[in-house]
Amino acid sequence: MKKTVIWGSGQIAEGLIRANAISGISFILDNDKYKTHTLFFGYEVIHPDEISEWKDYFIIIAVRKWNDISEQLDRYGLRYGQDYIDCFSYDHLQVDIRSVQNAVKKFCFKTDDGEFCVPIDNYEAFSDLRNSKKNVLMFGEMLTEIYRETYGDMGLYFGYCPVCNRERVFHVNTVNGEFNWRESVADDVCMLNLRQRFIYSLCRDRYKGKKIYMHEQITNLFRYMSTLENEVVGSEYISPATEGGTIVDGVRHEDVMNLSFDDGSFDVIVSCDVLEHVNDPKTALKEAYRCLKTNGTILMTVPFNPNMEKNVRRAFMRNDGSVENHLPPVYHGNPLSKEGSLVFHDFGWELLEDMRSSGFKDAHLLVYYSPEKGYVSNRMQFIFEGNK
């Protein structure tokens, strides 16, 4: 009988061990030689070079980029399904988590499927929707507690991915000890999180054939958006000394406060978590409005506090490029910088007024939810939308 081995010594492997999801584990495999012969939750870590008879083991891959490990095992002469499998296809784990998820869903959504997409233009309407959809919040809260008790700092959610066009297992991760649904619920293939998949499906379904400009270019979302039946243009902010429209190593530079495009160039502008990093968001909104065609649309995500009326400035950039921090500095990930991007603003409902004063009519939040597609959370999820 083959011995069971887990490949990986990260959070996913930890979750499997903590949940007792796999019995009879012999040891842990990992390519990191610095971990060789250390203990991982009581199991010895072995480097693959030490294995002489691979056929003696059944290997469960427990890493995000499991396809890389799969290729390595294939080179050893092993076969998927017979000699190894990825943990997200492991029968016992799938049945257990899927059955729990379905049971919670059935409890929370007794009379409907929970799916909706609703425009909201003020706090009162948002509060009314939140109160009328308490089962939606309860679903996310119950799953969060189950994940916390079972895995500690991770969870798995089964749902349909509109990008991959098939059912996937999404990862629900923690940030600073708290489950962050907005920034996670991503699968191992497209790697797009909850809000990114919603943006993708919205553009695919509503704006087929339209010309789209995105405030990003070297991201997975841009790559998948570029596969749609649209002309898609993207850019990144490279440096203050770079002229707008310049291509540097295949990447277009643009300053969202001073775009190089002609008036009315695009049907849709997509801005995902960019505006909070801009010194003057109102100028950026006016530039987006200028570059849109008549009846064009902006789709925008930002970190947003629905319980906050006014925007809060965290930092200010002086004319000489120096920064004055009004609050302790906060940085978000930036694909062009290891340091990340400084957050200049925290946004409240005032952002809708900023959009309207920039010319966008019918500016609103688009609140969305779908247990089937993995648009799930213990809080309401939304994007900003405005039309020219």
The answer to whether residue 108 is domain-embedded is no
User: Residue 337 — very low, low, confident or very high, per pLDDT cuts 50/70/90?
Assistant: low
Q: What is the pLDDT of residue 20?
A: 60
* Boundary-marking domain end, from 89, 106, 136: 89
> What gap in Å lies between CA 378 and CA 1, rounded to an integer?
44
CATH of the domain at 20: 3.40.50.720
- Containing 154, the helix (H) or strand (E) segment is strand 154-161
Torsion of CA 150, 156, 159, 165, to 10 degrees: -170
Q: 72-102: per-residue pLDDT in tens?
A: 999 999 988 778 887 765 554 555 667 778 8
pLDDT value, residue 384? 98
Q: Which of 65, 89, 113 is the last residue of a domain?
A: 89
- Domain-embedded: residue 11: yes
Q: Residue 342 falls within a domain, yes or no?
A: yes
Position 296 in a domain: yes
Q: Is 224 in contact with 192 (CB distance < 8 Å)?
A: yes
Residue 311 has pLDDT above 90, yes or no: yes
72 with 215, same domain: the answer is: no
- Give the residue numbers spanning the domain of 293: 194-387
Asked, for residue 175, whether it belongs to a domain, the answer is no
pLDDT at 90: 53
> Is 326 inside any structural domain?
yes
Asked if the structure places residue 166 within a domain, the reply is no
Residue 33 lies in a domain: yes
Tell me the mean pLDDT in the region 135-145. 89
pLDDT digits (tens, 9 = 90+) for 27-49: 999 999 999 999 998 899 999 99
CA 94-97-102 angle, 5° bins: 110
Q: What is the pTM of this model?
A: 0.75
Beta bridge partners of 40: 43
pLDDT band (50, 70, 90) for residue 189 = confident
Q: What are 128's two structure tokens?
A: 């009314």
67-76, 239-248, 279-288, 378-387: which is most confident: 279-288
Q: How many domains does the chain have?
A: 2
Share of the chain above pLDDT 70, in %: 93
CATH code of 307's domain: 3.40.50.150
Chain position carrying tokens 């003020």: 122
Q: What is the pLDDT of residues 246-305, one digit of tens each?
A: 999 999 999 999 999 999 999 999 999 999 999 999 999 999 999 999 999 999 999 999
Higher pLDDT, 351 or 337: 351
pLDDT at site 89: 59
